Structure 1
Amino acid sequence: MNMQAVWAIYRFEMARAFRTKLQSIVSPVLSTSLYFIVFGGAIGSRIETIDGVSYGAFIVPGLIMLSLLTQSIANASFGIYFPKFTGTIYEVLSAPISTFEIVLAYVGAAATKSIMLGLIILATAAFFIDLQIAHPFWMFLYLVLTALTFSLFGFIIGIWADGFEKLQIVPLLIVTPLTFLGGSFYSIDMLPPFWQKVTLFNPVVYLVSGFRWSFYGVSDVSIGVSTAMTLLILVLCMVCVWYIFKTGWRLKP
Structure 2
Amino acid sequence: MTINLHAVRAIYFFELHRTWRTLFQSIAAPVISTSLYFIVFGSAIGSKMTLVDGVSYGAFIVPGLTLLSILTESTSNASFGIYLPRFTGTIYELLSAPVSVVEALLGYVGAAATKSVILGTIILITARLFVPYEVVHPIWAAIFLVMIALTFSLFGFILGVWADGFEKLQVVPLLIITPLTFLGGTFYSIKMLPEFWQHVTLFNPIVYLINGFRWTFYGKADVNVMVSFGMTLVFMTACVALIAWIFKTGYRLRN
The counterpart of 1:142, out of the listed 141, 144, 166, is 144
Percent identical residues: 66
CA distance in structure 1 between the partners assigned to 2:248 and 2:6 by the alignment: 23
Partner of 1:46: 48
| Match of residue 199 from structure 2 | 197
Q: How far apart are the structure 2 equivalents of 1:197 and 1:83?
A: 42
Letter in 2 for 1:212: R
Q: Tell me the residue number matched to 2:241.
A: 239
Distance apart, 1:43 and its partner CA: 1.6
In the superposition, the TM-score normalised over structure 1's length comes to 0.99
Find the aligned partners of 1:30 and 1:165 in 2 and give their Cα distance: 24
Residue segments in structure 1 that go unaligned for 5+ positions in a row: none
Match of residue 249 from structure 1: 251
**Which residue is equivalent to 1:56?**
58
- Alignment correspondent of 2:188: 186
Q: Distance in 1 between matches of 2:249 and 2:163?
A: 17
Give me the whole-angstrom Cα distance separating, in 1, the residues matched to 2:241 and 2:186: 28
Query: Does the CA contact (< 8 Å) of 2:63 and 2:214 recur in 1?
Result: yes
1:165-221 Cα distance to aligned partner (Å, 9 max, x none): 000000111000000000011000000000000000000000000000000001000
Q: C-alpha deviations, 1:95-122, integer Å up to 9, x for none?
A: 1111110111000000000000000000
Secondary structure (helix, strand or coil) at the match of 2:166 reads: coil
Q: Specify the code of the residue in structure 1 equivalent to 2:74.
A: S
Matched ranges for 1:88-99 at <5 A: 88-99=90-101
Unaligned regions of 5+ residues in structure 2, if any? Answer: none
Matches within 5 A, 1:19-98: 19-98=21-100
Q: Which residue is equivalent to 2:167?
A: 165
Match of 1:153 in 2: 155
Q: Secondary structure at the match of 2:131?
A: coil
1:220 to 194, 219, 222: 222
2:18 equivalent among 16, 38, 62: 16
- Please list the CA deviations of residues 59-79 of structure 1 after superposition, one character each: whole Å capped at 9, or x if unmatched: 000000000000000100000
Instruction: Please state how far the C-alpha of 1:42 moved relative to its aligned partner.
Output: 2.2
Q: Which residue of structure 2 lines up, in the alignment, with residue 115 of structure 1? A: 117
Instruction: Tell me, in whole angstroms, the C-alpha distance in 2 between the residues paired with 1:20 and 1:190.
Output: 40
Q: What TM-score does the superposition give when structure 2 sets the normalisation length?
A: 0.98
